[in-house]
Amino acid sequence: MDLPTQAHLKTLRDLLSYRLSELRADVHAAEQERQAEAAEDGQGAIDRKDEAARGQMRALGSQQEERDRQEMGQVEAALRRLDSGTYGDCGSCGEPILLQRLLVQPAAARCAACQAKFEGHVSHTS
């Protein structure tokens, strides 16, 4: 493996590791907030308007937490691919994923063309 490739892989591993730590912190904060809200729910009277606003905030927080958990899984999978030596290869066609794509989306599992096909397939079936 040449030095530029090794440097790129180290940069990408650092990006993935940093993002993983951010996501873990976000998920932990969401869990703490949910616990605090649960403890707070039993205290004091609130009106319907306040309850509706709380419900919307809970739903939004839940969606954000789910998105963070999904991204955590993608980042962890990318780190495993780095460890196994398959990182940077498209999971669909097997061709190399362009470095520019990996720098923008380090957890990418597919090349841009295969990702576009995948997203087109998913949007038509949904």
The per-residue pLDDT for range 33-63, each reduced to its tens digit, is 888 877 776 665 567 887 787 778 888 888 9
pTM of the model: 0.79
Give 5-12 contacts, CB < 8 A, sequence gap 24+.
Answer: 8/99, 8/102, 9/82, 9/87, 11/103, 12/82, 12/87, 12/102, 12/103, 12/106
Instruction: Using pLDDT thresholds of 50, 70 and 90, give the confidence band for residue 98.
Output: very high
Q: Which pLDDT belongs to residue 6?
A: 83
